[in-house]
Amino acid sequence: MSNFYNFLEEISEYSNVKKSLDKTGKVSVFGCVDGAKSHLINSLCQSLDCRLIVTEDEVRANKLVQEYRNFDKNTFYFPPKDFYFLVQIFMETYYLKSECVHSKFF
């Protein structure tokens, strides 16, 4: 599959995005046509264990999930309400853990 993406390495914009992703672990890409998004994500994130892809609406998210499953079967869709719920649980858990650590020291 890597031969399929070799031509991307020659494009300076792709190289800049790849360097930014390697350096910071996150990147935003705008202006990519819908049909190429799953290919671009797969080529950029081959060395990463986990990817979080955020779209502007549920229709585009579902379409991208269906396309990306061709590359990775472990692709999941989280509706916005579920995502916000999970973030809230994470924040509350983190807050409780930090309070426990804080109380142990004082």
- Tens digits of per-residue pLDDT, 30-69? 888 888 888 888 888 887 777 878 888 889 889 999 998 9
Model confidence, pTM = 0.63
pLDDT per residue as tens digits for the range 20-34 = 988 988 888 888 888
Q: What is the DSSP string of 9-45?
A: GG-HHHHHHHHHHHHHS-----S--HHHHHHHHHHHT
d(CA 17, CA 14): 5
Residue 95 burial (CB count, 10 A): 10
Please compute the mean of the pLDDT values over residues 58-81 and round it to a whole number: 87
Sketch the domain layout of the chain as residue ranges: 2-75, 78-106
Three-state DSSP class for 54? coil
Which amino acid, 27?
A: V
